[in-house]
Amino acid sequence: MMGTRRSLHLSTFVLETLLLLFYAASGTYCSVVHGNTTDRCSLLDFKKAITDDPTGALSNWNENVHHCMWSGVNCSTRHPGRVTVLRLYDLDLAGKITSSIGNLTFLRELSLDFNRFSGQLPPLNRLRKLVSLSIVFNLLEGNILDAVIALENCSKIEVLDLSGNMLVGSIPRNIGSLSNLRVISFLANNLTGTIPPTFSNMTCLVAIELAANQLEGSIPEELGKQPNMLQVILYENSLSGRIPATLFNLSQLFYLDLRKNMFTGTVPSNIGDTLPSLEYLYLGTNKLEGHVPDSLGNASELGELDLQSNCFTGIIPSSLGKLHQLNYLNLDKNKVEARKSHEFLSALSNCSNLYTLSLNGNHLHGVLPNSVGNLSTTLRRLDLGGNYLSGTVPPSIGALKNLEYLHLGGNNFVGTIPDSIGNLANLTNLYLSDNQFDGW
């Protein structure tokens, strides 16, 4: 057995050496296209269309080196010479992606992230083994429809990431036929139209990122019916309507970012119980109303909560104090209130990782309690501006020794400004104007 294997190994070696000699000797090695040498030819054709390679990344793509050894290239072990991976990451390469790439029929991964590839995505529909296509932050142009058509029949594809290009048009319904997709990311393009309701067959979907486009209409209910969904990232579009209830029913969802849209309606009161895995909840800059749900205190992993610039009303729930991971809480520009004793503020002193507490432009009213000084010393940014707060500023505020930003302006504070603020060594931004301090 051993001997046989060794001689087999040896003969492969001899053959490859012969092939190398052949490549080296022949200037026209691509004119004869037969068997697995087509992959070499396809790669050379791809290289020919690269107009700029400032780092010399493709310098070993030459006749002295077997194409499976070229940088960024990997080949199949069972099918010698057949390219399975083409990964050229952050190399500042410029040029068009030639259609010869569509002949690398054993390709599983094509990653050209952070380069300057331009033009349209060539037809890739012969790449039936393709699992991952990632061309993030390049200069791809054309219609997303053509890009999806280019992938027709790549039924194994799991990751489709074309973020950060210049693609236009509407996401076609037939993207639903790529039913093994786990990750769809078209973030930061110029897509228009609505999100198609064709995700119901995509039971593997874990992440959908369509942020920073010009999408409109509402979120299709189907999007929330993916039991494995982890991330829904749709910020900076013109989406509207109510957020579908299904989206608040994803028990594994940890990242929800719907900022800067035009969503209306309320946040379900049991959100913290139905989304127990939430770590990032960003709903800022929409037209949401109703209360900040008490149940958020049950989403025990929650680290960042952004509800700014909406129309939330009611009392800030003290249950937020249960969130030990909470580092960012922003309720700016709503109409939320505090109970007379500012209960929520003492509750928040349990949040030992709090970094930002921003409540600017709300209806807090009343006297700022001493317990403000019991907030975690991890706090860097405290914004209580524009809130009708009255009485004196408690000296305990000087205990927040790592504060860099303190905004108390636009309230009804009276008396003297506590000396303790002078001890805040790292304070770079201090706003106290528009109050009724003595001597101002």
Q: Give contact residues for ligand NAG (rule: CB under 6 A).
A: 15-16, 19, 35-38, 42, 45, 72, 74, 80-81, 85, 87, 99-100, 103, 125, 152-153, 166, 168, 176, 190, 198, 200-201, 245-246, 249, 270, 272-273, 294-295, 298, 318, 321-322, 346-347, 350, 370-371, 374, 401-402, 425-426
Nearer to ligand NAG, 94 or 168 (CB): 168
Nearer to ligand NAG, 153 or 434 (CB): 153
Instruction: Find the angle CA(330)-CA(225)-CA(147) to the nearest 5 degrees.
Output: 90
Contact 119, 91 (CB under 8 A): no
Smallest distance, Å, CB 3 to ligand NAG?
20
Nearer to ligand NAG, 260 or 333 (CB): 260
Nearer to ligand NAG, 70 or 409 (CB): 70
Smallest distance, Å, CB 100 to ligand NAG?
4
Smallest distance, Å, CB 321 to ligand NAG?
3
Smallest distance, Å, CB 238 to ligand NAG?
12
How many whole angstroms separate alpha carbon 213 and alpha carbon 398?
44
368: which 2 tokens?
A: 């700022």
Contact 330, 309 (CB under 8 A): no
Q: Helix, strand, or coil here: 242?
A: strand
- DSSP-derived letter for residue 244 is P
Report the residue closest to ligand NAG, judged by CB: 81
DSSP string, 379-434: --EEE--SS--EEPPPGGGGG-TT-SEEE--SSEEEEPPPGGGGG-TT--EEE--S
Beta bridge partners of 330: 306, 358
272: which 2 tokens?
A: 């913290």
Contact 268, 246 (CB under 8 A): no
Nearer to ligand NAG, 175 or 207 (CB): 175
Beta bridge partners of 382: 357, 406
User: Cα–Cα distances in Å, from 164 out to 140, 152, 185, 211, 232?
Assistant: 9, 22, 9, 10, 17
Contact 391, 370 (CB under 8 A): no
Smallest distance, Å, CB 350 to ligand NAG?
4
Smallest distance, Å, CB 439 to ligand NAG?
27
Smallest distance, Å, CB 111 to ligand NAG?
8
Nearer to ligand NAG, 125 or 390 (CB): 125
Question: Of 258, 308, 248, nearest to 278 (Cα)?
Answer: 248
Contact 79, 101 (CB under 8 A): no
Contact 297, 325 (CB under 8 A): no
Smallest distance, Å, CB 434 to ligand NAG?
26
Cα end-to-end span (Å), the chain: 94
DSSP string, 300-313: TT--EEE--SSEEE
Helix segments in 123-264, DSSP class H = 144-149
Nearer to ligand NAG, 74 or 194 (CB): 74
How many whole angstroms separate alpha carbon 342 and alpha carbon 347?
9
Nearer to ligand NAG, 213 or 231 (CB): 213
Nearer to ligand NAG, 85 or 430 (CB): 85
In what helix (H) or strand (E) does residue 292 lie, and over which residues does it extend? Answer: none
Contact 331, 354 (CB under 8 A): no
Smallest distance, Å, CB 148 to ligand NAG?
11
Smallest distance, Å, CB 406 to ligand NAG?
14
Smallest distance, Å, CB 440 to ligand NAG?
26
Nearer to ligand NAG, 98 or 387 (CB): 98
Smallest distance, Å, CB 140 to ligand NAG?
10
CA 355 to chain centre: 22
Nearer to ligand NAG, 148 or 288 (CB): 148
Nearer to ligand NAG, 271 or 409 (CB): 271
